[in-house]
């Protein structure tokens, strides 16, 4: 599998989710889908949580890391590239916080 690191997705305004986008330097399969999406809370965040969302549904609330261990969330690994990363969003309790995101493709 090939990792596509999106880096830190920063939520400029708390409560206004930021959609995942793939930098132009990476190419997704023709389907636009990936095998897995992984999200880690930023150890340096100032608020208490960041959120992984699809629309208005919160899939995960990742708390501020304690002792340097970041909370982690991922989609189940699929058999093939069938997860659409653009359907996921990152939100935060505090403006300027965010999460680190990696996409995995076959």
Over residues 6-35, the pLDDT tens digits come to 999 999 999 999 999 988 888 888 999 999
**pTM higher than the cut 0.85:** yes
β partners of residue 51:
61, 91
Cα torsion at 59, 49, 40, 90 (round to 10°)? Answer: 60
Instruction: Kindly list the structural domains of the chain, giving each domain's residue range(s) and its CATH number in brackets, ordered by start.
Output: 2-105 (2.60.120)
Neighbouring C-beta atoms of residue 48, cutoff 10 Å: 12
Whether 67 has a pLDDT exceeding 80, the answer reads no
The pLDDT value recorded for residue 69 is 77
pLDDT at 68: 67
Asked whether 36 and 77 are in contact (CB, 8 A), the reply is yes
**Rounded distance, CA 11 to CA 99, Å?**
9
Span 69-83, mean pLDDT? Answer: 89
């Amino acid at each position: 599998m090939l990792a596509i690191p999106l880096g830190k997705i920063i939520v400029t305004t708390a409560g206004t989710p930021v959609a995942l986008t793939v930098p132009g330097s990476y190419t997704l399969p023709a389907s636009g889908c990936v095998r897995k999406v992984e999200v880690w809370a930023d150890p340096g965040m100032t608020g208490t949580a960041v959120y992984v969302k699809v629309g208005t549904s919160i899939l995960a609330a990742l708390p501020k890391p304690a002792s340097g261990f970041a909370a982690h969330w991922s989609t189940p690994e699929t058999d093939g590239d069938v997860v659409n990363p653009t359907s996921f969003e990152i939100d935060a309790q505090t403006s300027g916080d965010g999460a680190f995101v990696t996409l995995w493709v076959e």
